[in-house]
């Protein structure tokens, strides 16, 4: 798999693909009660079908959201999505090139190790340098 967004050292951010493996990975992460404690709630696991319903439109570029897999030392460890921020939702005047992002580390053994922070730092550089975020 190629790294389409950025790669630096052991970190790679690639677009999520319309592939069974990517959907299955999200379904595994989003049915783990440790992850769900921070995303959607422990009593709200995602089946593979629910993952496809929610994420396929993003993967197919139907929603204006770019879904990505966070790769660490060659293995997927989390999910990051980004999109142009909506002025009403985020309470700003609509001027500028403003972006929003959401992410989670789906592999709990990587929590608290700075992996997410490193991805955010690299992603912010990407937004500023490649997308001209203001």
Tell me the backbone φ, ψ of residue 31, rounded to 5 degrees.
Answer: -120, 5
Considering the entire predicted model, what is its pTM? 0.92
CATH 3.40.630.30 fits 6-130, yes or no: yes
Angle at which helices 48-59 and 20-29 cross, to 10°: 120
pLDDT tens string, the chain, 134 residues long: the values are 555 899 999 999 999 999 999 999 999 999 999 999 988 777 789 999 999 999 999 999 878 899 999 999 999 999 999 999 999 999 999 899 999 999 999 999 999 999 999 999 999 999 999 999 99
């Amino acid at each position: 798999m190629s790294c389409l967004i950025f790669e630096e050292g052991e970190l790679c951010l690639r677009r999520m693909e319309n592939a069974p493996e990517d959907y299955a990975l999200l379904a595994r992460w989003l049915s783990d009660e440790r992850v769900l404690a921070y995303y959607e709630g422990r009593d709200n696991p995602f089946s593979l079908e629910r993952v496809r319903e929610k994420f396929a439109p993003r993967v197919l570029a139907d929603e204006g959201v770019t879904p990505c897999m966070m790769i660490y030392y060659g293995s997927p460890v989390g999910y990051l999505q980004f999109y142009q921020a909506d002025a009403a939702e985020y309470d700003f005047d609509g001027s500028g090139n403003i972006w929003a992002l959401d992410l989670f580390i789906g592999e709990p053994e990587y929590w608290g190790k700075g992996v997410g922070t490193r991805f955010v730092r690299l992603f912010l550089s990407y937004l500023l340098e490649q997308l001209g975020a203001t």
